[in-house]
Structure 1
Amino acid sequence: MCCIKGYIPDAWECYVDCSKVYHVTSMRKIIEEKTLPSLEENIRWNKSIPIKINEHTWWLCNNRLPTRCNLDHCGIDTNSVRCPICDQALEDSQHLFIDYSIAT
């Protein structure tokens, strides 16, 4: 404890809401408002499965997986956008999870 007159200890404040205290739920709400398209209903996560499965499903449904096509679309240089395993189609979510013979 410091005994300097007028000393105020450093503190972190989060201005997400009026409480000035950081809460994960408040931050999640802000992230969803900024990044997700406006939906009439909230996203409903399935609490009986691991969060990484929920997130992967969300990424897949919103075409956000880092496939070669998505990386190329974002300006990230890849040697090819074709599937490196079969070389028969473009590597996108449709090919990886539905059309690809190994996926079925």
Structure 2
Amino acid sequence: MTKHRIYTMSFASVYPHYITKAEKKGRTKKEVDEIIRWLTGYSQEELEAHLEHKTDFETFFAGASKLNPSRTMIKGVVCGVRVEDIEEPTMQEIRYLDKLIDELAKGKAMEKILRK
């Protein structure tokens, strides 16, 4: 089975799109970074290192050894697919992140986005 093409894409190539989507709706890069850190367990320095090294999505999520256990509370549809129904683990992590960025752009409070 061939891998989905997003697995080999650089996280750094998509990251600016997350920022742009948030900023268009009055949100900030700081909030995007907070969401990514919450989901993956990476520190800000680790996140910046992945961006600098242009880590691909598969490696980015494979290296996230402290994935937030509350991420399973993320529900909803991204790209026409329910995130909770995605069976492939890496794709589900990518879609969790997409869903969180969507919630940020829709004006949801950070406390709710971070499932507090």
Q: TM-score range by the shorter chain?
A: under 0.3
Q: Which has the higher contact order (CA 8 A, sep 6+)?
A: 2
Which has the larger share of helix?
Answer: 2
